[in-house]
Amino acid sequence: MATSATINPTRMELTRLKNRLKTARRGHKLLKDKRDELMKQFLDIVRLNKELRTNVERALMQAHASFTVASALMSPNMLEQSLLYPKQSVELEVSYQNIMSVNVPVYAFRTRSSDPGEIFPYGFAMTSGELDTAVDALSRVFQDMLKLAEVEKTTQLLAEEIEKTRRRVNALEYVMIPGMLEKIRYISMKLDENERGNITRLMKVKDMILKQAHGYED
């Protein structure tokens, strides 16, 4: 057996291996629980991601349609000049939320001005109403786009953690724990053999002593 070349079959080693096995089984259970909870969180995030992506794509299509109409109604130079100098600006803030020991980003933004009219960087006299509709649609979808970016990054990080946890669970379940069980069986077998050998030797010694002392065998 290959195990005999690497394991010292003593009771101290047996006790140490049994303690390691107990710790490995406890860690295996905790990692499986973590993996299952991560999968639950991951599936919830994936459903949210799908919903947000559908909403964002729909809103962007509507904004694009309005821009297309505005482009047809306005000259290219007028359209370019109307959007050349934006009035509104935003500040992006990034914080982090811990989900099952995974730090995922949380994005938030605030505009420089709270006036909703600041999103239009042009006067209304020379522009098309469709341009107003397009700019307003883009302004409203921005929050969903930011949330979508947050959710997609969270999905990526959770997927990486799930894969990492799955590999650890498999390593414990199929490599480490079976290996320790094999070593424990080997040491137990060797200790039993040694015990039987000691008993046999003691019985022989007893027979020799009785024979020498009394001249007969037990």
pLDDT exceeds 60 at position 4: no
The mean of the pLDDT values for the chain is: 85
pLDDT tier at 196, thresholds 50, 70, 90:
confident
CB 148 within 8 A of CB 56: yes
SS3 (DSSP) at 74: coil
Global pTM value: 0.74
Percent of residues, the chain, with pLDDT higher than 90: 45
User: Which residue has better confidence, 75 or 152?
Assistant: 152
pLDDT at 25: 95
Alpha carbons 216 and 218: distance in angstroms, whole number:
7
SS3 (DSSP) at 6: coil
pLDDT, tens digit, for every residue of 110-128? 877 676 667 777 666 667 7
Alpha carbons 44 and 151: distance in angstroms, whole number:
10
Terminal CA-to-CA distance of the chain, rounded, Å? Answer: 38
pLDDT exceeds 50 at position 70: yes
Question: What is the average pLDDT across 88-111?
Answer: 87
CB 153 within 8 A of CB 104: yes
DSSP string, 90-135: EEEEEEEEEETTEEEEEEEEEES---GGGG--S-SSSS-HHHHHHH
Percent of residues, the chain, with pLDDT higher than 70: 89
The closest alpha carbon to 131, from 147, 141, 120, belongs to: 120
pLDDT exceeds 90 at position 28: yes
pLDDT, tens digit, for every residue of 115-168? 666 777 766 666 777 888 888 888 888 889 999 999 999 999 999 999 999 999
Q: Which backbone phi and psi does 6 adopt, to 5 degrees?
A: -120, -10
pLDDT at 164: 95
pLDDT at 193: 83
Question: What is the average pLDDT across 203-214?
Answer: 73
pLDDT exceeds 70 at position 184: yes
pLDDT tier at 1, thresholds 50, 70, 90:
very low
Q: How far is CA 130 from CA 7, 133, 141, in A?
A: 80, 5, 16
